[in-house]
Amino acid sequence: MLTSKTPEGVRQQIWAHLLVHHALRELMCRTAAARGLDPDRLSFTDTLRAARRSVTTTPGVFSL
C-alpha cells in the first residue's frame, strides 16, 4: 500500500519496495547457494517473515 500523497513520495515508496524485493531475492540466492539448493525452492514469503523477525528482535544488527 502506498501512503504518500505526492508524486515524488510515491516514486520514493515504489523504489523502496523494489529495493527490499531485490535485497530479499539476493538473500535467497545466497542462502540457497550456501546450502546447495535451487533458489526457486525457497519461499519468498518465508524469507520476508524471517527478515522481519530478524529486524524486530535484534535491532541495530545491520551496520554501514
Q: Are the CB atoms for 15 and 26 separated by under 8 Å? A: no
Cβ-based neighbours of 56, under 8 Å, separated by 6 or more: none
pLDDT for the residue 1: 77
pLDDT in tens, 22-62: 999 999 999 999 999 999 999 999 999 988 888 777 666 65
Give the phi and the psi of residue 2 in degrees, each rounded to 5.
Answer: -95, 130
| The overall pTM is greater than 0.85 | no
Burial (Cβ within 10 Å: 0-12, 13-18, ≥19) of residue 32: middle
Flag whether pLDDT at 3 surpasses 80: yes
